[in-house]
């Protein structure tokens, strides 16, 4: 199943860790491993990155990449609400977990819509929340982003991918799905039309 991109933006795949500096407004990168620190499997200071980071402004609406069932409507994801040791660098953010055909998609570092409930069925392209600022300190890099993960199954908490350890078995790489999605993604100024279209002809977006 081909995903719909989770943000209504224009996309370019990029391995350049500084591509955000020259990206026009309304554009974002699908970050590519291994050069891009937001890419899947990128090595960080303390762990290996389990998802992909799509940089965007705070408040950007987040939409489901495929239809599915809400597994968790409001999982504490970063900051002190997720771990008492995470207050220095990370703001409090949440994640929404949706079980679909590809697996369990984690929409992380967002403020979920209050209307979401566990067990709720969501259509493709349905809003789940808005992006929050996640990084407390300004290090010259984007501080708000959608952190997107894909898991085979869900055991109740997000496994950490330790440095120099094998990938946790439930974690999958969402990058191929994103690359496929952006090949078919409309340009940003067409998103509104597409949404109107999908309301009229649901099968177009939700086969
Ligand atoms: Zn991330």
Residue pair 40/56 in contact by the 8 Å Cβ criterion: no
Tokens at 169, concatenated: 């078995």
Distance 175 CA to ligand 1 centre (A): 13
- pLDDT recorded at residue 131: 98
Tens digit of pLDDT per residue, the chain (207 long)?
799 999 999 999 999 999 999 999 999 999 998 889 999 999 998 899 999 999 999 999 999 999 999 999 999 999 999 999 888 899 999 999 999 999 999 999 999 999 999 999 999 999 999 999 999 999 999 999 999 999 999 988 888 999 999 999 999 999 999 999 998 776 765 655 555 555 554 444 443
Distance 162 CA to ligand 1 centre (A): 15
Distance 49 CA to ligand 1 centre (A): 6
- pLDDT recorded at residue 205: 42
- pLDDT recorded at residue 197: 55
Please give the Cα distance from 96 to 55 (Å, whole number).
Answer: 18
- C-alpha distances in Å from residue 174, one per residue of 6, 25, 81, 159, 184: 12, 24, 26, 16, 16
Distance 60 CA to ligand 1 centre (A): 16
- pLDDT recorded at residue 65: 97
Q: Say which residues have a Cβ less than 8 Å from residue 72's Cβ, sequence separation at least 6.
A: 95, 96, 97, 118, 154
Distance 52 CA to ligand 1 centre (A): 6
Question: Can you give the residue ranges of every domain in the chain?
Answer: 10-204
- In the chain, which ranges are continuous DSSP H helix? 175-184, 191-200
The pTM assigned to this predicted structure is 0.90
Distance 197 CA to ligand 1 centre (A): 32
Distance 140 CA to ligand 1 centre (A): 16
Distance 104 CA to ligand 1 centre (A): 16
- pLDDT recorded at residue 86: 87
- pLDDT recorded at residue 185: 74
Architecture per CATH, domain 10-204, reads as Distorted Sandwich (2.70)
Distance 203 CA to ligand 1 centre (A): 32
Distance 51 CA to ligand 1 centre (A): 6
Distance 134 CA to ligand 1 centre (A): 10
Distance 158 CA to ligand 1 centre (A): 12
- pLDDT recorded at residue 204: 42
Distance 204 CA to ligand 1 centre (A): 30
């Amino acid at each position: 199943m081909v995903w719909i991109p989770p943000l209504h933006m224009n996309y370019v795949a990029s391995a350049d860790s500084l591509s955000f500096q020259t990206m026009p407004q309304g554009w974002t990168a699908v970050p590519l491993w291994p050069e891009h620190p937001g890419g899947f499997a990128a090595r960080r200071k303390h762990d290996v990155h389990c998802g992909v980071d799509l940089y965007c402004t705070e408040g950007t609406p987040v939409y489901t990449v495929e239809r599915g069932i809400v597994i968790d409507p409001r999982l504490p994801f970063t900051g002190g609400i997720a771990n008492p040791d995470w207050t220095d660098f990370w703001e409090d953010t949440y994640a929404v977990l949706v079980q679909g055909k590809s697996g369990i998609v984690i929409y992380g570092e967002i403020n979920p819509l209050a209307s979401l409930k566990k067990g709720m069925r969501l259509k493709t392209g349905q809003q789940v929340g808005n992006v929050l600022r996640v990084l407390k300190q300004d290090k010259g890099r984007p501080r708000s982003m959608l952190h997107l993960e894909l898991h085979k199954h869900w055991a109740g908490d997000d496994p950490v991918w330790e440095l120099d350890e094998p990938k946790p078995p439930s974690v999958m790489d969402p990058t191929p799905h994103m690359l496929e999605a952006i090949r078919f993604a409309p340009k940003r100024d067409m998103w509104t039309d597409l949404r109107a279209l999908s309301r009229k002809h649901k099968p177009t977006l939700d086969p």
